[in-house]
Amino acid sequence: MKPGETGLKRVYDATCYSIQGLKAAWKYEEAFRMEVWIMVLVIPATFFLPVTKLEQLALVASLVLVLIVELLNSAVEAVVDRVGDDYHALSGRAKDIGSAAVFVSMLLAGLIWAVILFV
């Protein structure tokens, strides 16, 4: 185990690193910014939809899941880009799989929204 802070200092440091990560995603990742703006516009609309609180939670959670997967994809892409600019099949595969994860999370969100609103 590597040495480091413990207790509340560790929680504070982890929170600061997380905020730095969110700022970096906002600054460098256009897809992240677009997804945040979609959430800012769509989540308030859920308060006016004829859905139960549990359905509303599912609608919002599906959008948050897309954002989480986008953050993970961006992290994978940053690490791959850090390794080098030259093409490598494994680097391309890692980026493609990360992108596929975002796509699948978006499909899931779309399915959840469609089922709740139209079925």
Catalytic residues: 70
Helix axes 7-28, 53-83, angle to 10 degrees: 80
Nearest in space to 36 (alpha carbons), one of 69, 67, 58, 62: 67
Separation CA 95–CA 103 (nearest Å)? 12
